[in-house]
Amino acid sequence: MRYLYYPGCSAEATGKAYDISTRALMAKLGVELIELDDWNCCGATSYFSVRELDSFAIAARNLSIAQAQGDEDLVAICNACYTTLSKTNRYMAESDEVFKAVNGALGVVGRSYDGKKPVRHIMDVLINDVGLDAVADKVTRRLTGVKVAPYYGCQYSRPMGTFDDTEFPTTMDSLFKALGAEVVDYPSKLKCCGGLMMMTKEEGALRMCHELLKTAADKNADVIVAACPLCEMNLEAYQPRVNSTFGTNFKIPVMYFTQLAGLAFGVEPKKLAIDLQLVSCDDVLAAIPA
């Protein structure tokens, strides 16, 4: 199994651990990831909120490079990258105007794009290409007894819902069940984490994080797993500020799902960059049976 791999900007900064753990996990599962050449920002958030067309053009540059680089599907790890890249394909297919504008922009840098490069989420690859049976087969340290709250975030399945139910996804639940964990019913799994509002209207974003953390705590989760660098950062790095604002005392470990899954396959914590987490994951590590 081979894929073109699009790490995304956060993978070089706040989301480093996501990138590192993804590479380690996939290597362990025998999935080859070839990093996309000369990739750029996917065009998410700031662009598409302000000038959508620009964001399509930015995304399309990556897609056009991917098309030239190989026949493999392009895999993204960040929910926002995944959504923006796939959305670009969809809009280009549905609107002549977008198609022409995007190709006009690409033309300036000597590129063109037909809108047809398949874009996949890393979870889609795990569940549908590797397959849950194969995953369960390869587990070396079952996560027995670890209570996991799977947090999907806004853009995992919405708006397209290509590989999971749009409004109530369950793939991450299935993955961790296959890895032996006890998946808690986490009804806030799709609630927004506040996203970039943390920069502009912090009190609002904190309220949203508070709801997510409170539900996880109410359900006695040992760890929240996330599939997006921004979600992960809000939930983890802002815990102290949530605590001071709401008078709570949360200290819930938040991990990338690739980190926790990696542990189940026996990858060393260091190789999964677990030491980069801000809230200590020691309890989680200790809870996994040897």
Partner 1 sequence: MAEEKIGVYICHCGTNIGGKVDVEEVTKWAATQPNVAVAREYKYMCSDPGQDLIKNDIKELGITRAVVAACSPTMHEPTFRKAASDGGLNPYLLQMANIREHCSWVTIDPVAATAKAKRILSAQIHRLPLNEPLEPIEVPVNHDVLVVGGGIAGIEAALKLSATGKHVTLVERNPSIGGHMAMFDKTFPTLDCAACILTPKMSALGKDPNITLMAYSEVEYVEGYVGNFTVKVRKKARYVNTDICTGCGACQEACVVRKVKSEFDQGLGFRSAIYIPFAQAVPLRATIDPAKCLTLSKGKCKQQTCVSACGPGAIDFEQKDEVVELDVGAIIMATGFELWDAAQETRYGYGRLDNVITSLEFERISNASGPTGGEIVCKNGEAPKSVVILHCVGSRDQNYQEFCSRVCCMYSLKFSHLIKEHLPETEVYELYIDMRCFGKNYEEFYRRLMDEGVNFVRGRAAEVTDVALSPDEEGRLVVKTEDTLLGIVRRIPADMVILSAGLSPAHDAKEVSQIFGFGCSANGFYLERHPKLEPVATVTDGIFIAGCCQYPKDIPDTVAQAGAAAAGVLGLVDNDTVKVEPTISYIDPEKCSGCHICVGLCPHNAIQYNEEKNAAEVIEAACKGCGVCVSACGSNVPQQRGYLDVQIFAEIEGALAV
List the interface residues with partner 1, window 140-179 (CB under 8 A). Answer: 165, 167-168
Site string for partner 1, 190-219 (x = CB under 8 A): ---------------------x--xx--x-
Nearest distance from C-beta of residue 144 to partner 1, angstroms: 25
Nearest distance from C-beta of residue 159 to partner 1, angstroms: 11
Nearest distance from C-beta of residue 168 to partner 1, angstroms: 3
Closer of 215 and 239 to partner 1 (Cβ):
215
Does 133 bind partner 1 (CB under 8 A)? Our answer is no
Distance (Å, rounded) from C-alpha 253 to C-alpha 224? 6
Closer of 137 and 167 to partner 1 (Cβ):
167
Nearest distance from C-beta of residue 199 to partner 1, angstroms: 23
List the interface residues with partner 1, window 250-279 (CB under 8 A). Answer: none
Mapped onto helix, strand or coil, the DSSP state of residue 222 is coil
Distance (Å, rounded) from C-alpha 207 to C-alpha 192? 11
Q: How many CB atoms lie within 10 A of CB 138?
A: 15
Residues lying near partner 1 in the complex (CB under 8 A) are found at 165, 167-168, 187-188, 211, 214-215, 218
